[in-house]
Amino acid sequence: MNGNKYTNGEIRNGNGFETNGDSCTYDDLMITAKYVLDRIPKMPSIGIICGSGMGALADTLQDKTIIPYGEIPNFPVSTVEGHAGQLVFGACSGTYVVCMQGRFHHYEGYPLWKCAMPIRVMKLIGVEFLIATNAAGGINPAFNEGDVMLIKDHINMMGFAGNNPLQGPNESRFGPRFPPMCKAYDRDLIEKAKDIWKNQQFDGRLFEGVYTCLGGPNFETVAELRMLKLLGVDAVGMSTVHEVLTARHCNMTVLAFSLITNECVMDYYDHSQPNHEEVIDVGKLRQSTLRRFVEEIVAYIAKNRMK
């Protein structure tokens, strides 16, 4: 369908998406990484995942190299509106980075290991720091549409159901069989991001909180959202957790934040309903601020955290 090479017994459904199959081998991922490295001038040190409606950062990189997902061996293809579906390489605040302009979701028909596979490719091409962004619904009653939440922790609901991107034989060249997740999100970067937001006087409010990923593609019921609130969840989305699990498994340093694009419907008598168009629209309204926010974070990492 898109020129990708599918290996290891992966099975496609009628839409061309994989519904079963083993994880890519290390050799498969090396083929993917070599394809990418052959097309860029140098190795990036920071990877950025652009959430729904937040792809503007990739558009403003200097000296860009763009590689569509469909041209990359073994790579999945993004099918969601608001996700351009390409790797964009270039300079951000003077530092060479790679942006994923479009990510992959379990509800598209991909297994979680495939959704998170680009993170391992990032590792193989030189990335040591991951900045993951997403659009999320606000469960915390203090949150308003357009607020930003730094993720301090997550609850892996899909993992509770036995669905984890690290399932299957462990590849020790990436990381250990049983990786710890008690410090999944780098505390120093969280504190520095808060300082940056305050010092730069960005418009809007910044919080920190707990995120969870559900499988989607439907938005949540009132009962589900009330349950998540009881569990201590502040924001809910359909991505990020499996990417962070994979990044930490291969020893990447992670910072992540959510743009709150809608307030979750927690009352049966509330007649409002979430929709994807709202997610995209809020992302577009906030993209300038979030782009500058990420640029400042990249500058800090380059100056203070990179070897």
- Is 2 a domain residue? no
Q: Judge whether 45 counts as a catalytic residue.
A: no
Number of domains comprising the chain: 1
Closest CA to 105 of 129, 77, 131: 77
Which is catalytic among the residues 54, 74, 262, 302? 262
Per the annotation, the verdict on 106 as an active-site residue is: no
Please check whether residue 3 lies inside any domain of the structure: no
Which tokens belong to 256? 């992540």
Structure tokens at 157: 């609901």
Question: What is the reported pLDDT for 307?
Answer: 76
**Which of 116, 158, 238, 256 is flagged as catalytic?**
238
Q: Is 271 among the residues known to form the active site?
A: no
Long-range contacts at 277-283 (CB < 8 A, ≥ 24 apart): 279/52, 279/53, 279/82, 279/135, 280/52, 280/53, 280/81, 280/82, 281/53, 282/53, 282/135, 282/145, 282/146, 283/51, 283/52, 283/53, 283/54, 283/82, 283/135, 283/259
CA distances from 5 to 23, 29, 71, 165, 246 (A): 14, 12, 10, 20, 22
Neighbour count for residue 25 (Cβ, 10 Å): 14
| Angstrom distance (rounded) from CA 154 to CA 234 | 10
**Active-site pick, 135, 157, 184, 256:** 135
Q: Has residue 4 been placed in a domain? A: no
How much is the pLDDT for 9? 34
- Residue 5 placed within a domain: no
Q: Which domain range does residue 179 map to?
A: 11-304
Which position among 26, 276, 278, 300 bears the catalytic label?
A: 276
83 assigned to active site: yes
33, 93, 108, 116: the catalytic one is 108
Of 4, 52, 93, 134, the catalytic one is: 52
pLDDT by position in tens, the chain (length 307): 333 433 333 333 333 333 345 578 999 999 999 999 999 999 999 999 998 777 888 999 999 999 999 999 999 988 876 667 999 999 999 999 999 999 999 999 999 999 999 999 999 999 999 999 999 999 999 999 999 999 999 999 999 999 999 999 999 999 999 999 999 999 999 999 999 999 999 999 999 999 999 999 999 999 999 999 999 999 999 999 999 999 999 999 999 999 999 999 999 999 999 998 888 899 989 999 999 999 999 999 999 999 7
- Known catalytic residue: 107? yes
Can you give the pLDDT at residue 79?
A: 80
In a domain, 113, yes or no: yes
pLDDT of residue 176: 98
Element (H, E) at 279: helix 276-304
Give catalytic status of residue 13 as yes or no: no
Residue 105 falls in the annotated catalytic set: yes
52 is catalytic: yes
Task: Tell me which of 93, 140, 239, 258 is the catalytic residue.
Answer: 239
Q: What is the CATH number of the domain that holds 52?
A: 3.40.50.1580
Residue 6 within a domain: no
Selection from 101, 125, 75, 107 nearest residue 219 by Cα: 107
> Choosing from 100, 105, 211, 252, which is the catalytic residue?
105
User: Is residue 242 annotated as a catalytic residue, yes or no?
Assistant: no
Q: Which of 178, 255, 246, 176 is nearest to 211 (CA)?
A: 255
pLDDT at 83 (0 to 100) = 63
Within a domain: residue 75?
yes
Half-sphere exposure of 9 (CA within 13 A, CB side): 4
Alpha carbon dihedral 133, 139, 144, 147, in 10-degree steps, equals -20
Is position 89 within any domain? yes
